[in-house]
Amino acid sequence: MNRNTDFIPFAKPSLGKEEENAVISVLRSNWLTTGNIALEFERQFREYVGSKHAIAVNSATAGLHLSLEAVGIRRGDKVITSPFTFAATAEVVRYLDAEPLFVDIEESTGNIDVDILDKTTRKNRRIKAIIPVHFAGNPCKMDRIMDIARAHSIAVIEDSAHAFPVRTGKEDRFAGTIGEAGVFSFYVTKPITTGEGGMVVTDDDNIYGRILRMRLHGIDRDVFRRYTNRRASWMYDVVAPGYKYNLTDIAAAIGLVQLEKAKRFLERRREIARSYIKRLSPYDFLTLPRYSNESAWHLFVILLNLERISISRERFVDELLKRGIGVSVHFIPLHMMTYYRKRYSFKPEDFPASYRRYMRSISIPIYPDLSEKDVQYISQSIIDIGKRFYRPH
Ligand SMILES: Cc1ncc(COP(=O)(O)O)c(C=O)c1O
């Protein structure tokens, strides 16, 4: 199959006139930084997901850092996450001089293996937090994770960077609202975007209060109120050495529009996932994700059955690129990265499921603006490559 049209990018934000107009109106207001629009974004977001508080931040990385700080993580504490994640999830643990304790994944989903998690929490008394990562937008087994965490008084901070707006668990709550805190990303490839940005949600007043302060220099009152409330004075106090993690009104204005479109975006991602599964499931050189309405389908990852094909994953990726299809790999496990490998003397096989899954993974395009024609072309290209390099039984 030949295709003479443009390259299909791996990811693309869905932005329209509404976002443009929202940004222009913020620019014209002259209030560009955190103000009324960011407050409104927080209000609408917390109502959307049904959490008591929402705090807008300039990245999910910032949100994860603030959440760990707010639950009291400090030097020498251990924080569990899986190595099958982006750098952000573990680096924030190191920001606080605490130690990430990696727990391997279920190879089939990429999510933390709750049986290994259970065993690990029984053995180690210094574990103070767990950061489950909802890989590709498919929520982790949160009921089990919460039971394990509660049994040992461990805080749960959900890395919900990929998982919005989807519900899970016996209480059918939004992913990200089940642990003590949850963090969403509005990075440009994510389910909704503000360019860069994030949101922390929590029902806990103490966590909320601490994050609010630490988000902006440890100041006891935010700058906006200081300048707009007529009775407020110029006086402020710094009560802790905080950070500079606030979200601008420019970004929040985009976020408000994207929030309105979130359900539609999810519907289209679901359609694409169903279409890929229908088209690709007859082929035994691939393992596909199981369709689930719980997933946000942030990523669509095909797993190569390497015993059924005569080329490596790298070569398969090259063949897709040659056909004008942008792809990626999620994730190169963190225990294989120089920093973690050196610091903790890890070998690739130390987390066998993460390693195996990584070696066979290819993430293919999935986003609301991807057309059905593109989905068909991408699927057919995968089938053609698989057939060409097929290794029979
Ligand atoms: C699983 C995961 N967690 C956290 C992040 C960090 O998000 P942000 O770029 O908003 O800081 C990412 C970003 O790609 C991610 O994939």
Closest ligand 1 atom to 85 CA: 1
Identify the residue whose C-alpha is closest to ligand 1 atom 14: 86
pLDDT for 236 equals 87
**CB 383 within 8 Å of CB 27:** no
Q: Does domain 17-258 have CATH number 3.40.640.10?
A: yes
Q: Tell me whether the omega of the peptide bond preceding residue 165 falls within 30 degrees of 0, making it cis.
A: yes
Question: Which pLDDT belongs to residue 229?
Answer: 59
To test the pocket of ligand 1, the residue of 10, 59, 61, 193 to mutate (highest count of ligand atoms within 8 Å of its CB) is 61
Read off the pLDDT band of 1 (50, 70, 90): very low
At residue 228, the pLDDT reads: 59
In contact, 162 and 189? CB cutoff 8 Å: no
Q: Where are the domains of the chain?
A: 17-258, 262-388
Cβ 220 vs Cβ 166: under 8 Å: no
**What fold, for 262-388?**
Aspartate Aminotransferase, domain 1 (3.90.1150)
Q: Taking residues 123-146, report their average pLDDT.
A: 97
Give the number of other Cβ atoms within 10 Å of residue 261's Cβ: 17
In this prediction, residue 108 carries a pLDDT of: 97
Find out whether the beta carbon of 187 lies less than 6 Å from any atom of ligand 1: yes
Mean pLDDT over residues 230-244, rounded? 83
pLDDT in tens, 349-362: 999 999 999 999 99
* Mean model confidence pLDDT for the chain: 96
> What is the reported pLDDT for 227?
57
**Residue having the nearest C-alpha atom to atom 16 of ligand 1:** 86
Residues assigned a catalytic role: 190
Q: Is the pLDDT of residue 258 over 90?
A: yes
Mutate to test the pocket of ligand 1, among 91, 111, 138, 185 (most ligand atoms within 8 A of CB): 185
CB of 89 sitting under 6 A from ligand 1: yes
264 Cα–ligand 1 center, Å:
22
> Where do runs of H (alpha helix) occur along the chain?
17-29, 36-49, 60-70, 87-95, 114-123, 142-151, 205-215, 223-228, 249-280, 313-322, 338-344, 352-360, 372-388
Ligand 1 mean position to 226 CA, how many Å? Answer: 32
